[in-house]
Amino acid sequence: MKKIDEEALAEAYNRALGLEKAGDIDAAVAAYREVLEIDPEDHGGAAVRIASLGRGEAPPRAPDAYVETLFDQHAESFEDILVEQLGYAVPVMVRQRLQELGLGPFKRMLDLGCGTGLTGGTLRDMVDDITGLDISENMIEIAHEKDLYETLYVAEVEDFLEDNDDEPFDLITATDVLPYLGALEPLFFGASENMLKDGIFVFSSETLPEDAMAGRAYIVGPHQRFAHSETYVRERLAATGFEVLEIGEINVRMQEGHPTPGHLVIAKFKG
């Protein structure tokens, strides 16, 4: 791994941000490509920024280095920003829907992208044993301090699901994970490989109006987060052995004073 020229990287990235803000998209994209040449692992998320500007194909997922850096940097203020400032309440919605559908209690839960433990804490009394994982070590440290999980891992979601050989789970949650993934096949297939028959898979996704999606399965939206079409979500679930129990329209969070439309999906693994 080559040593990154931090000064050149900062100059190129700040120049790209300035050009983007000024509306000079062609020059901004060229500057973001300079960023990628300096830092191929893409700690700053230049690839998703290029895609959000409508140039080039959306990557299959956000770069690991970008997601890890983003959440490591915000771990200490994560809950205040997400819950208090952005009105994020997806874990509470998950609990409400599981209870209203008469699902649970559960024996083993896998909390994908667990962060600081918002979902694990909300469902703690509904589950005997919870395993959490997150790509951010700083997030995992905070979750560990809360003593909510029996087991915690620092890992990327898709890689963990592919390599895991622990006992299967009867509940898998993925709240605020899909906005960092484009292609959903690895996630859904990985979940199926780690789940008991009739196990429940619950996750949230973000979406955009049909004219913005333009028939595409997923795109990178204006805030550098992936949006997925409901049709694509349904198709990929069916292809990986899941039966959709419910797809509800939700406001995932506020963004610059505007609601972020999305879905709360509850599916059962048919085996």
95 and 62 share one domain: no
C-alpha span between 163 and 125 (Å, rounded): 28
The total of structural domains in the chain comes to 2
57 and 88 share one domain: no
Q: Could you tell me the two tokens for 58?
A: 């959306």
Classify residue 73: in a domain, yes or no: no
pLDDT per residue as tens digits for the range 201-254: 999 999 999 999 999 999 999 899 999 999 999 999 999 999 999 999 999 999
89 and 29 share one domain: no
C-alpha span between 81 and 238 (Å, rounded): 35
18 and 98 share one domain: no
182 and 247 share one domain: yes
Q: Could you tell me the two tokens for 141?
A: 């440290």
Q: At what angle do helices 6-22 and 25-38 cross, to 10 degrees?
A: 160
Q: Tell me the pLDDT of the chain averaged across its residues.
A: 95
Mean pLDDT by 10 residues, the chain (271 residues): 82 95 95 95 95 91 95 89 88 98 97 97 98 97 97 97 95 97 97 98 97 95 95 98 98 91 98 85
Classify residue 191: in a domain, yes or no: yes
Q: At 87, give phi and psi (nearest 5°).
A: 65, 30
Contacts by residues 216-220 (CB-CB < 8 Å, ≥ 24 positions apart): 216/58, 217/183, 218/58, 218/182, 218/183, 218/184, 219/51, 219/58, 220/48, 220/51, 220/52, 220/58, 220/59, 220/182
Classify residue 147: in a domain, yes or no: yes
13 and 98 share one domain: no
pTM confidence score: 0.94
224 and 252 share one domain: yes
Q: Could you tell me the two tokens for 84?
A: 């208090």
CATH number at residue 222: 3.40.50.150
Classify residue 1: in a domain, yes or no: no
The reply to whether omega before 222 is within 30° of 0 (cis) is: no
CATH number at residue 15: 1.25.40
Listed in sequence order, the residues at least 6 apart from 148 whose beta carbon sits closer than 8 Å to its beta carbon are 117, 120, 121, 124, 130, 132
DSSP 63: -
The predicted pLDDT at position 81 comes to 85
Domain of residue 232: give its range: 78-269
